[in-house]
Amino acid sequence: MEIRKREPQRRELAVEEQGQALEFLLANVKGKSRNAVKSLLTNRQVLVDGQVVTRHDTPLAPGQVVTILPPGAPAPADLPFPICYEDNWLLAIEKPAGLLAVASDKERERTAYRMVLDHQRAKDERAQLHVVHRLDQDTSGLLLFAKSREVKEQLQKDWERAVKERVYVAAVSGAPKERQGVVRSFLKETTTHLVYSTNDPRGKEAVTEYQVKKSSNGYSMLELFLHTGRKNQIRVHMKDLGCPVVGDRKYGGEKSPIGRLCLHASRLTFTHPVTGETISLTSRKPRDFNRLFREKEG
């Protein structure tokens, strides 16, 4: 009879008192010397709420979960962008400009979806991930995922009702005639995937509310409130205003002096599909947007 050696298992420990990582491990990991416990941190075997920690003085707070990985288990790779929200059902990141949200015909691997999925599966090989909504490749900001197909489908089914607030920040060329207003139109798409506004009600109704936050040097900073979530809605409506998004060559914008499309998903408020709580996520405006308002001075 063959006796199989039992593989070491990962351990999860709840933090009940405020403290630091090393003292917590020393108190909760039995049968190991102080140096062996320190090596858990050095070898990237310790996670706090799913994130690798290596510092002995990493602060811990009640309610956090410390995970100890067995020797040789892959630790989650450091993501090149922050996770700004995570619970048992949902996860949200701040996607950088230039990164695809999901795979395309030209790129299958280097996507926000694949990076987050690999990160999650390093912690739990059974982890699932599903995209709830999309961001254009060149748009930065908040991107929401669901951890199960059921939660994804429930949230998407009730999306218009569940989403209380969806706000973007954009730097545009010129300035709208009015400091605030609403752009309404019906959107259609050509065979070459160019979206355009029309009065034809057979198109998809799109409504964008805007407020000008500042204007100088030939640019304006706008806060944009989406009442609908259509493909390229903001980009088309800014073109309709005569103020295309900076860097949006597809919809009449000038070449970006800062090398990116100046559109950022900055706030998302929605009803949690499982708990019913109101979740409000925020992502600060990219600092490089401010360079537009300095570079032409002088």
Catalytic positions: 136
14 phi, psi to nearest 5 deg: -85, 135
Query: Is residue 188 within 8 Å of residue 169, measured between CB atoms?
Result: no
Distance CA 242, CA 175 (A): 8
Collapsing DSSP to helix, strand or coil, 137 comes out as coil
Query: In the beta sheet, which residues pair with residue 14?
Result: 65
Residue 294 carries which side chain, given as an amino acid letter? R
What is the full DSSP assignment across 176-191? -SSSEEEEEEEEEE-T
Give 36's contacts (C-beta < 8 A, 6+ positions apart): none
Q: Which sign, positive or negative, has the C-alpha torsion 259, 263, 267, 272?
A: negative
What DSSP state is assigned to residue 128?
A: -
Distance CA 39, CA 87 (A): 29
Distance CA 150, CA 146 (A): 9
Residue 30 carries which side chain, given as an amino acid letter? K
Residue 254 carries which side chain, given as an amino acid letter? E
